[in-house]
Structure 1
Amino acid sequence: MKPWKNMLLSLTVSVGLFASSVPALAATPAASAPDTSIQVNGKAIDYSHGEAIVKKGTTLVPVRLTVEALGGKLQDVKNGTVRIVVNGKTVTLKEKAQLIGGVSFIPVRSLAETAGYDVRWDRQTHTVLLVSKATGEAARGFLWEVKNGPTTVYLVGSMHIADDSFYPLRDEFEKAFAEADYLGVEIDVSKAADEAQQKMVLEMGSYTDGTTLKDHISAQTYKELGELLKANGLKADAFDQFKPWVVETTIGSLQTSEAGYEAEAGIDLHFIQQAVKNKIPVLELETYESQLGMFNGLSDELQERNLKAAIEGFDTVVDSTDEMAEMWKSGDEKALLEMTTAIAADPEYYKALLVDRNVGMADKIDGYLKSGKAEEYFIVVGAAHYLGNEGVLKLLEDKGYTISRK
């Protein structure tokens, strides 16, 4: 069964925010996986030295041989900074190289995406597949339009973590945003690093009664968590002060961030940054406190179930996020609906994560539509909020609005 719960967080709440409030933890390399192979457009790279290795879930490859296999050229490596030549242009990689056995290694995703390749994973053959990106084809994503008299609302389904392959967005997104008088988001994630927000996470997500995580989850779950943390270079008790919902969201971010998916590249933050630059008012449909409160209000039993799911699905988080990214970029409503409705199997989680929040969002959007003014609103919330019988689109249709996909 796919780890739907962990995947859906990237479509429903800004989970990347929690990691910024959890103390940094020193990590050491995990064991390598020498059987990982790399293919470029279906052809395996024959490394004469320095085979691909895996550390903490990240596949590292020899820089020179890999960039040449991708049709590029290594310019130089100085103090870990890698410069390559792609299509006649010199580009500096964001990731630093590591010197292993006298060979410079770099995360394969960083190198491949810079060279213009999509990165996929074949779990059965333990192979990283690098596939040339189609040129000139922008991601479809999710965009709908609702009108009421002189007022127009554009509804965008966001993926809260993303990478450079999501951009540039289709012209329809940028044109609609260019005409917007207001940007609406779940919460303004650009404020996530504020001291007050970090304090709120620590106050709500930490135990203050003298107990620790070990006292609130089963011995088996605590053991499995400790083993996972140690396998990834952390201390087994690294998260003892935090409640299960904080631990769950944080360990998920360990994998996705190393795979290149970051909140900084999320669709909502992309438009927030543009709104600030263009001095467009940013409206929040929810509050930071309400999102944290939703997690903090989950029953102890559900928090442990979610934590167990995160532990069990840890090794497949990147694969699942890759799958979700492809779903978003292709604009596949069927796949989105499948992901969304799958969570209904857990009634408490479904109600808290989607149903209750969808009602609040739909009511806010209804209010914008009833302004009676010739204004345009550009609303960006997690894609999972829109579809299904209890989704935002259906709730707006029940209020009498006609919605068209763009």
Structure 2
Amino acid sequence: MPALKSLLTGAMTLAALCALPACAQPAPAPKATPTAANDADPALWVVKDKDTTIYLFGTVHVLKPGLTWFDEAVKSAFDKSDTLVLEMVEPDAATMQGIVMAKAIAPTGAPTLTQRLPADKRAAFTTAIAEAGIPGAAAERLKPWFASIAISMVPIRKAGYDGDQGPEKILTAAAKAAGKTVTGLETAEQQIGYFDGLSDGAQVTFLTSTLDELPKGAATLDTMVADWSAGRTDALAKTMNDGLKDSPEVAAKILYDRNARWATWIGERMQKPGTVFVAVGAGHLAGDKSVIADLATKKLKAVRVKY
């Protein structure tokens, strides 16, 4: 299973993960020099009735400087909205560290992480952990899901991607400046819990697959961002979600179950008047069992906004 792709559509935003404790922090990426503005037109949908409008905007959680997406229809929809709804409202760094570390460390007496890996993956794990800046002794006590996320960030950061450039950070700042309500569909504890709640076997497979995909991490994200920028939702869904087919447990917990819950939330929110701007990972809004597909089962039609 291409676990790296799953991580990029997973429960946590990579921006939030960049606030992980120092023991799991890669060296800071070099500051990217802003490039000439590149126009991006990511997909936007709207669900509405006589007194309620809900915009659905798919994000990529980390971007490089110089990409202009917060304009045209996206900015217009945001400006009309009273409330911004994200996957989660990111807590402060200290709180996030506490939440993560309460779940990231394996129980005393458990086998080391290296011992839990197939023999042919151990050398790659040692190299990846060192590049992530995690001391070997500390790495051995990590749970596989956490190690997967920590090492997956390294090539992405080296390539110049930055959580501070991600739509969630920019939208949150704009909402606060405009006095809009900002809320989350989930809490940080819930999102961490989705990963920590994976079975031991799924977590180990998650880590080994991440190791396999690591050399292609930056290229994979480049492809995803290109498709996101052009509004190619089918291509984006294929890149982001196809790897989940080989792991029903991960697909259910990280993607499909959450999509269904979010569609239910949207259906309930449609019963109240107002205008809402919902921004979640783009993989949740494309393909089979997406939020868009789940809304259709509730007789709610999400219409693609043309611009």
TM-score by length of 2: 0.89
Deviations along 1:367-389, one digit per CA (max 9) or x if unpaired, are: 11111x2x100000111111233
Matches of 1:115 and 1:394, distance apart in 2: 37
Contact 1:226–1:237 (CA<8 Å) still a contact in 2?
no
Residue 354 of structure 1 and its aligned partner are, at CA, apart by 0.8
For structure 1, the 5+ residue unaligned runs are 29-55, 59-93, 96-109, 117-132
Q: Determine if the alignment matches structure 1 residue 381 to structure 2 residue 280.
A: yes
Deviations along 1:17-52, one digit per CA (max 9) or x if unpaired, are: 234223247989xxxxxxxxxxxxxxxxxxxxxxxx
Q: Determine if the alignment matches structure 1 residue 320 to structure 2 residue 220.
A: yes
Q: Per the alignment, do residues 333 and 233 of structure 1 end up closer, same or farther by CA in structure 2, a change over 3 Å counting?
A: closer
Matches of 2:130 and 2:160, distance apart in 1: 22
- Which residue number corresponds to residue 152 of structure 1? 53
Kindly name which structure, 1 or 2, has the bigger radius of gyration based on alpha carbons.
Answer: 1
Q: Per the alignment, do residues 231 and 282 of structure 1 end up closer, same or farther by CA in structure 2, a change over 3 Å counting?
A: closer
Q: Per the alignment, do residues 23 and 220 of structure 1 end up closer, same or farther by CA in structure 2, a change over 3 Å counting?
A: farther
Q: Per the alignment, do residues 174 and 249 of structure 1 end up closer, same or farther by CA in structure 2, a change over 3 Å counting?
A: same
Alignment of 1:235-314 (within 5 A): 235-314=135-214
- Which residue number corresponds to residue 6 of structure 1? 4
Tell me, what secondary structure is at the counterpart of 1:282? strand
- Which residue number corresponds to residue 31 of structure 1? none
Tell me, what secondary structure is at the counterpart of 2:47? strand
Contact 1:145–1:405 (CA<8 Å) still a contact in 2?
yes
- Which residue number corresponds to residue 299 of structure 2? 400
Q: Per the alignment, do residues 298 and 201 of structure 1 end up closer, same or farther by CA in structure 2, a change over 3 Å counting?
A: same
Matches of 2:40 and 2:142, distance apart in 1: 38
Residue 115 of structure 1 and its aligned partner are, at CA, apart by 4.6
> Which of 320, 336, 340 is the aligned partner of 2:236?
336
Q: Determine if the alignment matches structure 1 residue 360 to structure 2 residue 256.
A: no
- Which residue number corresponds to residue 21 of structure 2? 22
Deviations along 1:119-162, one digit per CA (max 9) or x if unpaired, are: xxxxxxxxxxxxxx76xxx2111210110221000000011111
Residue 228 of structure 1 and its aligned partner are, at CA, apart by 3.3
Tell me, what secondary structure is at the counterpart of 1:164? coil
Alignment of 1:183-194 (within 5 A): 183-189=84-90, 191-193=91-93
For structure 2, the 5+ residue unaligned runs are none
Contact 2:26–2:131 (CA<8 Å) still a contact in 1?
no
- Which residue number corresponds to residue 252 of structure 2? 351
**Aligned-residue identity in percent:** 24
Q: Aligned partner of 1:150: which letter? A: D
Residue 229 of structure 1 and its aligned partner are, at CA, apart by 3.5
Higher strand share: 1
- Which residue number corresponds to residue 204 of structure 1? 103
TM-score by length of 1: 0.69
Matches of 1:152 and 1:268, distance apart in 2: 20
Matches of 1:242 and 1:156, distance apart in 2: 34
Contact 2:131–2:154 (CA<8 Å) still a contact in 1?
no
Q: Aligned partner of 2:227: which letter? A: M
Pairwise CA RMSD: 2.5
Alignment of 1:39-78 (within 5 A): none
Matches of 2:239 and 2:24, distance apart in 1: 32
Residue 295 of structure 1 and its aligned partner are, at CA, apart by 0.3
- What number of residue pairs does the alignment pair up? 302
Q: Per the alignment, do residues 323 and 202 of structure 1 end up closer, same or farther by CA in structure 2, a change over 3 Å counting?
A: same
